[in-house]
Amino acid sequence: MERIRNFSIIAHVDHGKSTLADRLLEYTGAVSRRELKEQMLDTLEIERERGITIKLQAVRMEHKGYLLHLIDTPGHVDFSYEVSRALAACEGAILLVDATQGIEAQTVANFWKAVEQDLVIIPVINKIDLPAADPERVRKQIEEILGLDGDDVILASAKEGIGIEEILNAIIERIPPPKGDPKAPLKALIFDSYYDPYRGAVAFVRVFDGEVKPGTKIKLFSTGKEFEVTEVGAQTPKMTKFEKLSAGEVGYIAASIKDVRDIRVGDTITDAKRPADSPVPGFRPAKPMVFAGLYPSEGYTFEELRDALEKYAINDAAIYYEPETSPALGMGFRVGFLGLLHMEIVQERLEREYGVGLITTAPSVVYRVRFKNGTVKEIKNPSELPENWGLIEAIEEPFVNVTIITPKEYVGSIMNLCQEKRGIQKGFKYLDPNTVMLEYEMPLSEILLDFHDKIKSLSRGYASYDYEFIGYKEEDLVRLNVFINNEPVDALSFIVHRDKAYRRARQLVEKLKDTIPRQLFEVKVQAGIGNKIIASERIPPLRANVTAKCYGGDVTRKKKLLEKQKEGKKRLKQFGKVELPQEAFLSVLKVD
Ligand code: GDP
Ligand code: MG
């Protein structure tokens, strides 16, 4: 164990984490440049395209006779629990900061997560090769904002291969070896999992005590489920079998497990015959924060969607789903996600890899309704909010703590934005003469809306933010109902703060007017609180002037239009009502 080091790289997105990881692998000879490319090809298509790390990986390499385990962490706020579990598997972390950008929101958020785990932190300033690099400014920020010693900073360029040897030496010299008792009962923390068609669900673990090998009967602490180990090993970076994994080591365990939901991130694996007294602390089941309805689009069936979801869920323990029926959309599922990025990933993969077309309703947070009779109900779908408001004591919504780091010239407009979004200011601090850190408490629903786009456009891309869930708070909320030709469309209803109801209702009906294609009859689009209409628009019928415009001159155009009308008729017959395109369901999110 003296010769093992377990570490992560933590950084704000784009500061060079993946590049540095590649460089470390290359330097230690774990992979050649050619293999690196092939290695990349193995990772998920979407992950590669988006340039973000979704799945954690743990790679073993060797340097000067030491075994180094690099545990990767996902770079998005949706996966912050996974980050904390990955850090719990380490004794140290490399904190990477871009020499041209300085400290950003995720730098600070990840730094605190590492401090919570008592990790030794090695500060590294990356991209010193760039002309705009200002390492001395960043060194000062590291001293003043994070309270680290500026003399410990390593200057590096992952791209040019500068500082790599120094980083590897610092890992060996500064990070302590793992502690643990190889003779004690097995205690292994799961920090990641994935589904492998050959091995079944595979758990990535850090072994704290004891050892595990093929044939070991293992037991999961949270569920008591038991499995027999078929294979253990580590990524070097290829999946490589070992005889065993012992205290201090990082690697994978396969045990013919059919479903990744049996090996939850944060859970502890122990020996079924000789179990440990207690698990590694900190386990909590995945908690979906955002829910949306997923329905088969035209040409796909409910059964096809169900099969796709079931297959997909084997891969993703964080997703939650249950069947639901919408009067407007028919049979589908209410699906829970960790956040908006997670939702986008699931949608894309269902369509691309599992071949099912989707209509997705606007995502919504989970509201909590306290009834006068003392019961509490969690609302995953705005349409579940009871009509009878007399029974309701209060409605609560999830709040997050948002940290924003921005150049000082954008502070004013960002503060306005936060106020508009019902934010309560909690902090204002100059990080250096040009950079301000703001802290707000804000409803998560306001972040879902368009916070990301707004903050990026207000700051020309220079501000960054991060947030964490802090709890539920009572707010004055109402449900906006949407009616199309006087019929309520449940799938378009949403919950909103009373003060914003009028504005949102107006924006929504205008957006719907733009997205719903004109029909042969007039379409009335209305929004109301309960049955009280507060905004209304009319989509004029198509027929009235559709041929009139052609002046009888252009025959083919006239024909086409008439054909279109016929087609329209067919569809109307089929559905008996207005056809709503996917865009319409997301217009709830499109506000100005
Ligand atoms: P990650 O999001 O932290 O994983 O960042 P990446 O490793 O994907 O790097 C983001 C971008 O910065 C890529 O275009 C890299 O090529 C570039 N990059 C990373 N390290 C360096 C560096 O040391 N110098 C320069 N000039 N560019 C770098
Ligand atoms: Mg990356």
Q: Which sequence spans correspond to the domains of the chain?
A: 4-174, 187-271, 290-361, 367-475, 479-590
How far apart CA 333 and CA 321 sit, in angstroms, is 6
Q: Considering the chain, what percentage of its residues have pLDDT values greater than 70?
A: 89
Contact 165, 63 (CB under 8 A): no
Going by CA atoms, what residue is nearest to atom 19 of ligand 1?
16
Same fold, 367-475 and 479-590: yes
Mean pLDDT of 441-453: 92
Q: Would you state the pLDDT for residue 551?
A: 46
CA of 413 to the centre of ligand 1 (A): 30
Q: Give the three-class secondary structure for 551.
A: coil
How far apart CA 450 and CA 469 sit, in angstroms, is 18
Segment 222-244, tens digit of pLDDT? 999 999 999 999 988 778 899 99
Q: How confident is the model at residue 286 (pLDDT cuts 50, 70, 90)?
A: confident
- Residues annotated within the binding site are 14-19, 126-129
How far apart CA 326 and CA 155 sit, in angstroms, is 57
CATH number 3.90.25.10 given to 4-174:
no
Ligand 1 pocket residue status of 360, Cβ below 6 Å: no
Q: Between vectors from CA 151 to CA 148 and to CA 156, what angle results, nearest 5°?
A: 95
Q: Would you state the pLDDT for residue 472?
A: 97
The two tokens of residue 550 are: 């052609």
HEC secondary structure over 91-108: CEEEEEEECCCCCCHHHH
How far apart CA 212 and CA 217 sit, in angstroms, is 9
The two tokens of residue 34 are: 């050619």
User: Which of 83-97, 369-383, 390-404, 576-590 is predicted least confidently?
Assistant: 576-590
The two tokens of residue 427 are: 């902090």
The two tokens of residue 248 are: 């201090």
CA of 35 to the centre of ligand 1 (A): 19
Q: Would you state the pLDDT for residue 567?
A: 47
Superfamily name and number for 187-271: Translation factors (2.40.30.10)
The shares of helix, strand and coil residues in the chain, as percent rounded to the nearest 5, are 35, 35, 35
Instruction: Work out which ligand 1 atom sits closest to the CA atom of 11.
Output: 3
**Statement: residue 520 has pLDDT above 50:** yes
CA of 11 to the centre of ligand 1 (A): 11
User: Which of 30-44, 332-346, 434-448, 492-506 is predicted least confidently?
Assistant: 30-44
**Exposed, middle or buried by CB within 10 Å (0-12, 13-18, 19+), for 66?**
middle
Q: Would you state the pLDDT for residue 49?
A: 55
**Statement: residue 94 has pLDDT above 70:** yes
Ligand 1 pocket residue status of 76, Cβ below 6 Å: no
Using the structure block, give the residue that is written with the tokens 């009308």: 565
Segment 315-325, tens digit of pLDDT? 888 899 999 99
Q: Which helix (H) or strand (E) holds 377?
A: strand 376-379
Across 75-225, where does the E strand assignment appear?
Answer: 92-98, 120-126, 154-155, 187-196, 200-209, 211-212, 217-220
Smallest Cα–Cα separation from 225: which of 275, 161, 150? 275
Q: DSSP code of 43?
A: S
**Statement: residue 162 has pLDDT above 60:** yes
Does residue 163 or residue 328 have the better pLDDT? 163
Segment 486-497, tens digit of pLDDT? 888 888 888 999
Q: Would you state the pLDDT for residue 451?
A: 93
Instruction: Work out which ligand 1 atom sits closest to the CA atom of 13.
Output: 2
Q: Would you state the pLDDT for residue 37?
A: 57
Across 72-168, where does the E strand assignment appear?
Answer: 92-98, 120-126, 154-155
Segment 112-156, tens digit of pLDDT? 999 999 999 999 999 999 999 999 999 999 999 999 999 999 999
Does residue 586 or residue 303 have the better pLDDT? 303
Q: DSSP code of 132?
A: T
CA of 332 to the centre of ligand 2 (A): 35
Smallest Cα–Cα separation from 20: which of 205, 193, 155, 194? 155
Superfamily name and number for 479-590: Elongation factor 4, C-terminal domain (3.30.70.2570)
Q: How confident is the model at residue 552 (pLDDT cuts 50, 70, 90)?
A: very low
**Exposed, middle or buried by CB within 10 Å (0-12, 13-18, 19+), for 250?**
buried
217 CB contacts (<8 Å, ≥6 apart)? Answer: 226, 227, 228, 229, 271, 272, 273
CA of 14 to the centre of ligand 1 (A): 6
CATH number 3.90.600.10 given to 367-475:
no
Ion ligand 2: protein residues whose beta carbon lies under 5 Å: 17-18, 53
Smallest Cα–Cα separation from 286: which of 323, 322, 321, 317? 317
Instruction: Work out which ligand 1 atom sits closest to the CA atom of 9.
Output: 3
Q: Would you state the pLDDT for residue 166?
A: 98
**Statement: residue 36 has pLDDT above 70:** no
How far apart CA 328 and CA 492 sit, in angstroms, is 9
Mean pLDDT of 393-399: 96
Smallest Cα–Cα separation from 479: which of 584, 329, 343, 379? 379
Superfamily name and number for 290-361: Elongation Factor G (Translational Gtpase), domain 3 (3.30.70.870)
Q: Would you state the pLDDT for residue 197?
A: 80
Ligand 1 pocket residue status of 162, Cβ below 6 Å: no
Q: What is each CA distance from 386 to 327, 336, 390, 490, in whole angstroms? A: 16, 21, 10, 13
**Statement: residue 562 has pLDDT above 80:** no
**Statement: residue 549 has pLDDT above 50:** no
Q: DSSP code of 218?
A: E
Q: How confident is the model at residue 78 (pLDDT cuts 50, 70, 90)?
A: confident
Q: Considering the chain, what percentage of its residues have pLDDT values greater than 90?
A: 64
